[in-house]
Chain A
Amino acid sequence: MLSTRLLTKRYGSLTAVDDLDLEVGAGELFGFLGPNGAGKTTTIKMLVGLLRPSSGSARVAGIDITTEPEKAKALIGYVPDAATLYDKLSAQEFLEFSGDLYHVERRLRDRRIAALLKLFDLQERGDDFLSGYSRGMRQKVSLAAALLHDPQVLFLDEPTVGLDPQSARQMKDILQDFCREGKTVFFSTHILEIAERMCTRLAIINHGRLVAMGSLQDLRHMVGQDGQSLEQIFLELTGSREDDVSAVLRGLEG
């Protein structure tokens, strides 16, 4: 469903994403992990067509996102990190706008909007301007907009940031249901517990390079210790500096 081949993004002398090779199948809930500045957001933005790769290619359902962006984008739903929405539109109006952009037939669009507003518990605030929404509510609106055109692949960048525990749980359920329908979810997160519990497969990148990919069991084999938590695996693969941290903190006390 989703594949990248030697995908690279350079900004001048800085290589944000370096020769990334990924394969994600249909029905997978794929977690994309990495420390801050590892290149997760840049990768996702290239996969949804917001950034142009410096070299390499990315395909969604066999369609190259760089050469046929409109065809590929029709199959994609995207929820950015800290989504900036149109403040002077209501949630209802924003979803109508989004549905029209994705060519959803009017009656179907209105039916889906009503269902999504109900699902995210936003019916009562549907006519309020988005400027009055909290970060979590905005996150829900942008997820509703991403689901509105029934995409084949859903990309989410840190989807649980700003959500309360109930909403985070609800989002997890929605994503799992989405995958059960044979569709693909590709999401980045810092919360390793969520990734550990939800994902069928995981990829870890560091400094723009893929350091590991596979199921949790595969990753455990990779580091050579069964029974390790994802957090321990992550820290080992990305070069944990726990000792340095302790030393610095001790230094601050002095």
Chain B
Amino acid sequence: MGAWEGLELGLLLWRVQLQMFINQTIRSRQAGRIAGTIAGAAVILLAWSWEGFITWLGVQASHRVPIRVDTLHLLSLAFLAYTGVLVFSSLVFSLNALLLNPDLELLLAAPRSVESVLASRMVVQVIRLFVLSLLFTGPALVLLAIVNQNPLIPLAFAMLFFLYPIFVVVIISLMSLLLVRIIPVGRGREVLTLFGIALAIGINLANFLLNPALRDPGFTRHPGAAPSLPDVPAASSPWLPSGWAGRSAAAVLSGDWATAGQWLLLLLAASAVIFAAGSVLSGRLYMAGWIQAVPPRRRHAAARARRLKGKVPLLSPVLAAVVIKDWRMRTRDLAQLVRFLMPVVFLFVIFGLRFPRLLGAVRSLGDGPPAAMIGLIPAWILLFSLSISLGLSAVSLEGKSIWVYAASPNSTLRFLQAKCWSTALPVAVLVALAALAAEIMIRPGWLWAVTAVVLAIAESAAVTTLMVGIGAVFARFDWTDARRMMHPVGIFIGMGLFSIVSGVSALLLVISIALAAVTRFPLFTTWLAAMTISVGGAVAVAALSILFGNQRLRGLEVG
């Protein structure tokens, strides 16, 4: 009964979400949003065309060069991999629904059973996943239907896409109900960030364990498994849902509808039972007081932080106040802290693990600017990551609290100045440290090493300032969530400008080396000239972006 009512309520919730989506896009009456919707639709169409083309190429190639591939195992493997996506997505959705979304209480106050309310959340999640999977695979399925002259192929796959997520969504929803008992109210976003990190590490670990390139050479692959893909023999087991879905999908493609129907029915029956049982169990868990049972812990400023009384050498009290406030906000919010630390960790993973082999190769270049320039690569990767993540979000970091500064007797230019200090300072320090460490190891000659580090500091200050300006132009004050506060167009422009500034700088430095070789000018002179032009150009672009950013903030109305 609860499951049935949940299905009905879920469809109602889905309709409301669809209405909200339409209201925020094509019915928004805002030119920017409508343009964004049209651009998004164009990108989807482009991606669909590309997918259709690739599928067509694949079909043609398989006709010309017959490859013996175990379709059943391959499809089972695909469904198993999809399970990983489902687990993470459902976990995020369920925790969001329980800890962050404000509408749960509204639904629970309605004259509906608790079971149906919790089941409706599962229904919404299943429909969402179903629509997404159709969005991703639609063109390929339509093309397969045309090639195989069988219009039922998309329909059969659509049923699989609808049924397969159910067991994952139900199990994860139940787990989430248990998890919220140990997650304090108000820490939901941070917990989600931790899950994000866990997923990133999980993918790396899975790659390390399953990628054939990293496997034991004596490992025997599943017969018929594609040689370039990871292999999990258990994926096609008849005892696992991935095996059922894989068998059904393989039978659909080969035109064996009886077998396809059998496995589909098994999946349908299992999903229905799990959904019904899950609805009842989730209701029981809720009624037993298992939801939001952890009271919010009182968090307070550490004694060390209290000693920071708003003083930063060389900065005016207003600038220092903003710099210290930003630093506190960044370091106290786990999601913000992760944005700051992750690039450093990944840099270590990318370069640190391969360090001895790389170092030998670079040292073989001998003294001089080429070795010094190569030493800047890790610093540049760090600069890219930090300037984008910290610089672009610097202004949006204020969120709805922007009124505090806006109501104060200070100019917007001073605000941007403070934001430049609060981001460029830590970025320049970290980039300088990375550059210094690389140059010490490479030893390209002290003079070249010093110029390389100076270049890294100057460019990081300029590039981060550039990002602060772009972030001001595309500032979003509606979000406090680190993932959402940056505007996608801002990110796109920021990345583009970073590439242009870096590319031009590298080109100038290479030209300076070539110029010295051709004209017999001292190499150090041409190198310094190239550095000056490069930094000067970056500073000019940064200043321009700050002017644009200031213009945007001056026109800002805090409504």
Partner of A103 from the list B305, B309, B317, B329 (CB cut-off 8 Å) is B317
Task: Please tell me if the beta carbons of B310 and A100 are within 8 angstroms of each other in the complex.
Answer: yes
Partner of B298 from the list A89, A92, A132 (CB cut-off 8 Å) is A132
Inter-chain CA distance A84–B404, complex, in Å, is 9
What is the CB-to-nearest-CB distance from A104 to chain B, in angstroms, rounded to a whole number? 9
Q: Which residues of A contact B328 (CB under 8 A)?
A: 88-89, 93
Task: Please tell me if the beta carbons of B299 and A128 are within 8 angstroms of each other in the complex.
Answer: yes
Inter-chain CA distance A25–B480, complex, in Å, is 40
- Which 7 A-B pairs give the minimum distances between C-beta atoms? A100-B321, A84-B400, A74-B409, A73-B409, A101-B408, A88-B332, A50-B558
Contact string against B for A residues 94-108, beta-carbon threshold 8 Å, 1 for contact and 0 otherwise: 001110111100100
Task: Please tell me if the beta carbons of A101 and B557 are within 8 angstroms of each other in the complex.
Answer: no
Q: Is B186 an interface residue (CB 8 A)?
A: yes
Residues of chain A at the chain B interface (Cβ within 8 Å): 42, 45, 48-52, 69-74, 76, 78, 80, 83-90, 92-93, 96-98, 100-103, 106, 110, 127-129, 131-132, 145
Task: Please tell me if the beta carbons of A71 and B399 are within 8 angstroms of each other in the complex.
Answer: no
Partner of A78 from the list B318, B320, B401, B407 (CB cut-off 8 Å) is B407
Q: Which residues of B contact A85 (CB under 8 A)?
A: 401, 404
Q: Which residues of A contact B558 (CB under 8 A)?
A: 45, 50-51
Inter-chain CA distance A86–B559, complex, in Å, is 18
Task: Please tell me if the beta carbons of A92 and B409 are within 8 angstroms of each other in the complex.
Answer: no
Q: Is B403 an interface residue (CB 8 A)?
A: yes
Q: A50-B403, A97-B325, A110-B309 are in contact. List 4 more A-B contacts (CB 8 A).
A: A42-B559, A71-B409, A97-B404, A101-B408
Interface centre among B321, B333, B409 (most CB of A within 10 A): B409
Across the two chains, which residue of chain A brings its CB closest to B296? A132
Task: Please tell me if the beta carbons of B404 and A101 are within 8 angstroms of each other in the complex.
Answer: yes
Interface residues of B, CB < 8 Å — how many? 37
Task: Please tell me if the beta carbons of B407 and A49 are within 8 angstroms of each other in the complex.
Answer: yes
Q: Which residues of A contact B332 (CB under 8 A)?
A: 88, 129
Inter-chain CA distance A247–B498, complex, in Å, is 65
Q: Is B411 an interface residue (CB 8 A)?
A: yes
Task: Please tell me if the beta carbons of B401 and A101 are within 8 angstroms of each other in the complex.
Answer: no
Q: Which residues of B contact A69 (CB under 8 A)?
A: 409
Task: Please tell me if the beta carbons of A127 and B300 are within 8 angstroms of each other in the complex.
Answer: yes
Inter-chain CA distance A90–B300, complex, in Å, is 7
Q: Is B410 an interface residue (CB 8 A)?
A: yes
Q: Which residues of A contact B333 (CB under 8 A)?
A: 88
Across the two chains, which residue of chain A brings its CB closest to B297? A132
Inter-chain CA distance A145–B403, complex, in Å, is 13
Task: Please tell me if the beta carbons of B301 and A70 are within 8 angstroms of each other in the complex.
Answer: no
What is the CB-to-nearest-CB distance from A198 to chain B, in angstroms, rounded to a whole number? 24
What is the CB-to-nearest-CB distance from B415 to chain A, in angstroms, rounded to a whole number? 10
Inter-chain CA distance A98–B403, complex, in Å, is 12
Q: Is B354 an interface residue (CB 8 A)?
A: no
Across the two chains, which residue of chain A brings its CB closest to B330? A88
Q: Is B63 an interface residue (CB 8 A)?
A: no
What is the CB-to-nearest-CB distance from B400 to chain A, in angstroms, rounded to a whole number? 4
Across the two chains, which residue of chain A brings its CB closest to B317? A100
Kindly identify, within residues 310 to 333 of chain B, every residue whose CB is under 8 Å from any CB belonging to chain A: 310, 317-318, 320-322, 324-325, 328-329, 332-333
Q: Is B446 an interface residue (CB 8 A)?
A: no
Task: Please tell me if the beta carbons of A86 and B300 are within 8 angstroms of each other in the complex.
Answer: no
Give 18 A-B contacts (CB < 8 Å), ordered by A residue: A45-B559, A50-B403, A73-B407, A80-B403, A83-B403, A86-B325, A86-B404, A88-B328, A92-B301, A92-B306, A96-B310, A96-B321, A100-B320, A100-B321, A101-B321, A101-B409, A103-B317, A132-B296
Across the two chains, which residue of chain B brings its CB closest to A127? B300
Inter-chain CA distance A101–B324, complex, in Å, is 12
Contacts A86-B401, A97-B310, A132-B299 given; does A76 touch B318 at CB 8 Å: no
Task: Please tell me if the beta carbons of B301 and A102 are within 8 angstroms of each other in the complex.
Answer: no
Q: Which residues of A contact B454 (CB under 8 A)?
A: none
Q: Is B406 an interface residue (CB 8 A)?
A: yes
Task: Please tell me if the beta carbons of A103 and B411 are within 8 angstroms of each other in the complex.
Answer: no
Task: Please tell me if the beta carbons of B411 and A70 are within 8 angstroms of each other in the complex.
Answer: yes
Q: Which residues of A contact B296 (CB under 8 A)?
A: 132
Task: Please tell me if the beta carbons of A70 and B406 are within 8 angstroms of each other in the complex.
Answer: no
Task: Please tell me if the beta carbons of A89 and B329 are within 8 angstroms of each other in the complex.
Answer: yes
Q: Is B405 an interface residue (CB 8 A)?
A: yes
Across the two chains, which residue of chain B brings its CB closest to A83? B403
Task: Please tell me if the beta carbons of A97 and B300 are within 8 angstroms of each other in the complex.
Answer: no
Q: Which residues of A contact B399 (CB under 8 A)?
A: 84
